A = this chain, B = another copy of it.
Amino acid sequence: MPRKVDHQARRTLIADALMRVAAERGLEAVSFRHVAAEAGVSTGMVQHYFGNKDEVMAFALDVVRERGEARVTAAVERLGQDPPPRLLLRTIIAALLPLNDQTRADGRMALAFLAYTAVRPQLAPALRDDTAQMVGFIAGLLPGPDAGTAAAGLLALMEGLGVYLLGGQYTAEQALAVLDDQLDRLFARSG
């Protein structure tokens, strides 16, 4: 009887190794050789499952995005039914900011993907759809006539806070103070 290969399990094994290596060395510096060594498989097998570097980067971003969505969902569920828009926004953004070790590791990978994509425009459309969707969602929660622009600003503020948290320019306390200050300003119009 031929040995049956569990492709899903093998892919998961390699993917987990990839994320560990990326968290340690930086996503951009990850090579098939590093991932193979970490997973205990051959370089050829990593190549078989991931094809090329673009696919590795896109895969890692998907993992990071899914973890972010899971964190947001869990945080929003803890708020209970119909939370006020300001609290909902604050909760979502805080869940996405790199405020602890796990979210910092994810944030570093997202940043590496952004830097990688900035010189490879063919990968950018996926980012654009995500951002547009997020701006639309935030705009629906903000008061005022020009909620679209305000939402685009709040999302950019979140992105910048993420960058400065990862670089150590802002502490978690400072970043949350900036977020609250901005939410005060955005919701002052309606109050």
> A residues near B, CB below 8 A?
24-29, 107-108, 111-112, 114-121, 124, 127-128, 131-132, 146, 149-150, 152-153, 155-161, 163-164, 166-170, 174-175, 177-178, 181-182, 185-186
Chain B residues with Cβ below 8 Å from A124 are 167-169
**B112 adjacent to A108 (CB under 8 Å):** no
What is the total number of copies of this protein in its complex?
Answer: 2
Chain B residues, Cβ within 8 Å of A157 = 153, 156-157, 160
- Say yes or no: B160 contacts A156, CB within 8 Å: yes
Given A111-B115, A114-B115, A160-B158, are A153 and B182 also a contact pair (CB < 8 Å)? yes
**B114 lies within 8 A of A166 (CB):** yes
Q: Are B119 and A168 in contact (CB under 8 A)?
A: no
**Beyond A107-B118, A124-B167, A127-B168, 5 additional pairs, beta carbon < 8 A:** A25-B119, A124-B169, A149-B177, A156-B160, A156-B178
Provide the bound-state CA to CA distance between A153 and B28, in Å.
Answer: 29
Q: What B residues does A164 contact at CB under 8 A?
A: 131, 155-156, 159
> Which chain B positions have C-beta within 8 A of A158?
160
